[in-house]
Structure 1
Amino acid sequence: MKQVNKKRYLKLALLYAVLSSAVLSSEAQAIAIRDIPNLTSVTFWERTGGSSPTPYTFGINSSQLTNQLNNPLGIGNNDFSGVVGREFYDVYYSNADGTFNLDGEFLTISRIFDATSPAGGGLNLAEIGLNFTGEPSEFGNFVASFTALGDNAFPSTVENAIDGNLLTHTTMGNTVGQIDRLHLTLGFQSSSESPPAESVPEPVSLFGLIAVFGFSAMLRRR
Structure 2
Amino acid sequence: MKKTRFILGSIIAISGSAQALPVYQIPNLASITFYETSGGVNSFTFAVNSTALTTQLPGTLGLSNNDFGGVSTEFYDVYYSNSDGTFNLNGEYLSIEGSYGRESPAGGGLNLAEIALNFSSNPTQYGNIVASFVALGNNAIPSSVGNAIDGNIQTATTMGNTVGQSQKLRVTLGFLPSSGPVPEPSTLLLLSIGAVEITGVRVNLNNWG
2:124 counterpart SS class: strand
**TM-score where L is the length of structure 1:** 0.73
Q: Which amino acid aligns with 2:67?
A: D
Aligned equivalent of 2:174:
187
Aligned equivalent of 2:70:
82
Higher helix share: 1
- TM-fit CA distance, 1:193: 4.5
Aligned equivalent of 1:171:
158
Residue identity over aligned pairs, in percent, reads 61
- What is the distance in 1 between the residues matched to 2:37 and 2:76? 12
2:145 counterpart SS class: helix
**TM-score where L is the length of structure 2:** 0.78
Aligned equivalent of 2:90:
103
- What is the distance in 2 between the residues matched to 1:157 and 1:188? 19
1:58 is aligned to 2:57 = no
Higher RCO (C-alpha 8 Å, min separation 6) = 2
Alignment deviations for residues 118-160 of structure 1 (CA, whole Å, 9 cap, x no partner): 0000000000000000211100011000000000000010000
Alignment deviations for residues 102-127 of structure 1 (CA, whole Å, 9 cap, x no partner): 00000000010010000000000000
1:135 counterpart SS class: coil
RMSD of the alignment, in Å?
1.2
Aligned equivalent of 2:133:
146
Aligned equivalent of 2:60:
72
Q: Deviation above 2 Å: which 4+ runs of structure 1?
A: 25-29
Q: Structure 2 regions of 5+ residues with no counterpart?
A: 1-14, 183-209
Q: Structure 1 regions of 5+ residues with no counterpart?
A: 1-24, 195-222
1:48 is aligned to 2:38 = yes
Q: Which amino acid aligns with 1:145?
A: S
- What is the distance in 2 between the residues matched to 1:192 and 1:104? 9
CA contact (8 A) 2:17 2:181 kept: no
Larger Rg: 1
CA contact (8 A) 1:29 1:191 kept: no
1:172 counterpart SS class: coil
- What is the distance in 2 between the residues matched to 1:103 and 1:41? 16
- TM-fit CA distance, 1:192: 2.1
Aligned equivalent of 2:146:
159
1:166 counterpart SS class: coil
1:156 counterpart SS class: helix
Alignment deviations for residues 62-94 of structure 1 (CA, whole Å, 9 cap, x no partner): 00000000011111110000013x001000000
Aligned equivalent of 1:20:
none
